[in-house]
Structure 1
Amino acid sequence: MKIEKFESWWVKRDQCLFDEKRRGGAKMPWDVVVIKLTTDTGIEGIATAMAARSGQVTESYLCDTAAPVVMGRSPYDREKIFYDFWNVDRHEAFFPVFLPGSVDVALWDICAKAAGLPLYQYIGAYRESLPVYASSLFYDTVDAYVNEALYYRDKGIPFYKAHPPGPYEFDMEIHQKLREAVGPDMGLMTDPVGEYSLDEAITVGRQLEKLNFLWFEEPFRDFELYKYQELCKALDIPIAATETTRGAHWGVAQVISQRAADIVRADVSWKCGVTGTLKIAHLADSFGLRCEIHTTTMTYMDIVNLHVSCAIRNCRFFEYFVPEESFRFPMKGKLPIDNHGIITVPKAPGIGAELDWELIERNCVSYKVLTL
């Protein structure tokens, strides 16, 4: 079996999910590039790639640089292909962090389908379901966070993570009001996305400990290892990091070796697919750390995250980026979350989720196909 066709669809949508602070004044449409790899036996592997800054750049990298790496090769050669991508990246390609993962996911999808197994069983199953936590966008008011947490609690989801926008004093107000509103039983986390000084982070962390938050995520940029080391020493609350660390498992290894995180983060989009995410999860497990899989911001790829999470032991939650409707495009159907906040992995061969091809064709800016 070998890859004989590589197709891509740059799919446009008129939506931006980040505020002006995080756009930096630039345009940031939340486009998606869909890829399909087809083998000489007719099996298809499907994945999506982020195109939040430039769909043209994402599509060009995939077709001009990534596709030649896999064309004509066996999808079972995933490990060799993984390292070939790193060699290409090292020698002047400089892939966007989310780019190789989509190709790797498509390869895994093919192989699981060929085996007639859902992906998590093809990897090696540990469980079939996980509790979810609702994970917010950035909002301007305290009430927006409080109301959202209460809404999802009433829908049966007992965990909520805020992405407070800063400055840290405002974030502390959000933390306080959230705990007061939801009471002592709802699990809470916070992720300010890398904006604090060290002393600010210590101040916030001590507040979070008093409020019984479950973890404190990414108060600094991922490369600020000294600050993470000092924060981990100063606080008892677990510190979560490595969401955007470059270098897949190599990058995360530096964080673990320097004791700069208590929980590491990975996902199939930003950490080089199923292959890279499994390497990180197994690395963390060998040190007795959790690897909490984070959202790809694309519901279809989050289903892949779910498969990986159900194939490892050291992940406690599924991150449910809300509102779901903002991230579902172009997948059909909703995430399989029940009334008690439990998500169950699909049982169909491969990824087990469907894309809306009519929607893709209707919103397609560019379609490219490469064949042998």
Structure 2
Amino acid sequence: MKIKDIKVSEFEIKDNTPRFKLRKTNEAWEKYDLKSPTGYLHVMHVITDEGLEGICTVGDARYTTMTENALAHLKHLTVGEDPTKREYLFDMLTKATRMVFMPPGWFGGFDNCLWDIEGQRKGKSVSALISNKSKPVEAYYNYRGADLNALIDDANVGIGKGFKVLKDHFAWNATQNIKSFESVRATVGEDIVLLHDAAGCNYSLDEAVEVAKQLSQLKFGWFEEPLNDRELGSLKTLCSQSDIPILALETLMNDFVIMREWVREAAVNIVRGNARHGTTGIIRIAEDLARIGMNIELNGPGGLFGHVHAQLVAGISNTSYYEYFPDGSRDSIGEEIGLLNPPVPVKGEVRLTERHGWGYEFDREYFNKKRVRVF
């Protein structure tokens, strides 16, 4: 079997990243003048000479497009190759990355298409290709709100829907956040797993150490992105002084080399990953981490409006949760281009389909009608 062609379908769809301006207020940067523009989403098709077609979105909720120049390089490098040789093609494209002046992970959508082809060829889901012992896909609920009362109300909505794991995105200062952690824990009780995502915060190292101490006392599950991922020394210090697991590398997760270096430097306890940079790379680093007793936790839907990460959470042993956003911006939005089965959690779990490959089902007539061009 050989790769015959690679095409990209382009769609107009609401952009998940609003446009905004920034201003500095009390030593912190604040967003304002937010606008929600129409963006573009690309779906890649890898077509074989035996009639199999692997499909995957180019990115997930972010990085949703590929340039025509990148596609031209990808086609020149891979058309005529055997799509079942995923390891070889991943290594070859990794080597080519520097030579074609692309960022690490630029070919992730292509790699995911190869996994889809392999699932179709063998009559298996991707999770079954990874492991014969697929596990349930437990999801955590990202709760939001304009103030603490609204946040607690939304947390209770999540619990009412059957979620047992909740994640906040509190972006106040350390003192206010700590008080908020205490309020949420007092409200939801001890049986709910709570997670803190500090991506919107501006903690100093000393503040992060104190926040970590309080999160540990409140029995939170992890402390996510406490500092800039590139502050290697500060992350090492924080990890050495914290009892709660430090989850990091979301802003570096396209580079599997750097991720491994941060692990070796003991600058992270749990590694963030996203399969939009390639399932082969994710599985490799997950296996490396498993050998040292460390987890990889997947960020967002990972491609195909959640199908990619749902399959990987089921198949990878050292990962815990599927990340769910309840506003439909990561999963149900796929219906706008014809996706018939977005993987929306029910009672806190994603139910995988019996379909082969990534498990998606598209109304292809509607899909073709909605796309604005193919290149």
- Whether these two folds match at TM > 0.5 is yes
The residue identity in structure 1 corresponding to 2:76 is: P
Residues of 1 paired with 2:310 and 2:330: CA distance? 19
Deviation of 1:68 (Å): 2.5
Question: Quick check: 83-92 or 115-124, which moved more?
Answer: 83-92
The residue identity in structure 1 corresponding to 2:324 is: Y
CA contact (8 A) 1:51 1:58 kept: no
Given the alignment of the two structures, is residue 275 of structure 1 paired with residue 280 of structure 2, yes or no?
Answer: yes
Match of 1:147 in 2: 153
Residues of 1 paired with 2:257 and 2:242: CA distance? 26
Unaligned runs of 5+ in 2: 21-29
Residues of 1 paired with 2:63 and 2:256: CA distance? 27
Question: Quick check: 286-295 or 347-356, which moved more?
Answer: 347-356
CA contact (8 A) 1:297 1:321 kept: no
The residue identity in structure 1 corresponding to 2:167 is: K
The 1:326–1:247 alpha-carbon spacing in structure 2 relative to 1, beyond 3 Å, is: closer
Match of 1:182 in 2: 188
Given the alignment of the two structures, is residue 60 of structure 1 paired with residue 68 of structure 2, yes or no?
Answer: yes
Match of 2:343 in 1: 335
Q: Please, which of 218, 222, 227 is the counterpart of residue 225 of structure 2? A: 218
Match of 1:10 in 2: 10
Residues of 2 paired with 1:19 and 1:156: CA distance? 34
Match of 1:294 in 2: 299
The 1:170–1:279 alpha-carbon spacing in structure 2 relative to 1, beyond 3 Å, is: same
The residue identity in structure 1 corresponding to 2:8 is: S
CA contact (8 A) 2:275 2:302 kept: no
Listed as ranges, the matches of 1:174-323 within 5 Å are 174-193=180-199, 195-246=202-253, 248-269=255-276, 272-296=277-301, 298=303, 300=304, 302-323=306-327
Once the two structures are superposed, residues 115-174 of structure 1 have per-residue CA deviations (whole angstroms, 9 ceiling, x without a partner) of 11111112223324122111246x542233222211110011111111223443443344
Match of 1:88 in 2: 96
Given the alignment of the two structures, is residue 117 of structure 1 paired with residue 124 of structure 2, yes or no?
Answer: yes
Match of 2:57 in 1: 48
The 1:332–1:185 alpha-carbon spacing in structure 2 relative to 1, beyond 3 Å, is: same
Q: Please, which of 102, 112, 134 is the counterpart of residue 105 of structure 1? A: 112
Deviation of 1:99 (Å): 3.4
CA contact (8 A) 2:331 2:342 kept: no
Residues of 2 paired with 1:119 and 1:135: CA distance? 26
Residues of 2 paired with 1:2 and 1:354: CA distance? 24
The 1:205–1:344 alpha-carbon spacing in structure 2 relative to 1, beyond 3 Å, is: same
Once the two structures are superposed, residues 27-58 of structure 1 have per-residue CA deviations (whole angstroms, 9 ceiling, x without a partner) of 76553211111111111100002387886x62
Question: Quick check: 318-327 or 196-205, which moved more?
Answer: 318-327
CA contact (8 A) 1:163 1:191 kept: yes
Q: Secondary structure at the match of 2:359?
A: coil
Residues of 1 paired with 2:80 and 2:141: CA distance? 41
**Fraction of identical pairs, as percent:** 26
The 1:101–1:24 alpha-carbon spacing in structure 2 relative to 1, beyond 3 Å, is: farther
Residues of 2 paired with 1:123 and 1:43: CA distance? 20
Q: How many residues align?
A: 361
The residue identity in structure 2 corresponding to 1:283 is: D
The residue identity in structure 2 corresponding to 1:38 is: I
Deviation of 1:201 (Å): 1.0
Once the two structures are superposed, residues 319-348 of structure 1 have per-residue CA deviations (whole angstroms, 9 ceiling, x without a partner) of 222223554332322326333x22233322
Residues of 2 paired with 1:61 and 1:143: CA distance? 49
Match of 1:34 in 2: 43
Match of 2:174 in 1: 168
Match of 1:366 in 2: 373
Residues of 2 paired with 1:19 and 1:13: CA distance? 15
CA contact (8 A) 1:29 1:52 kept: no
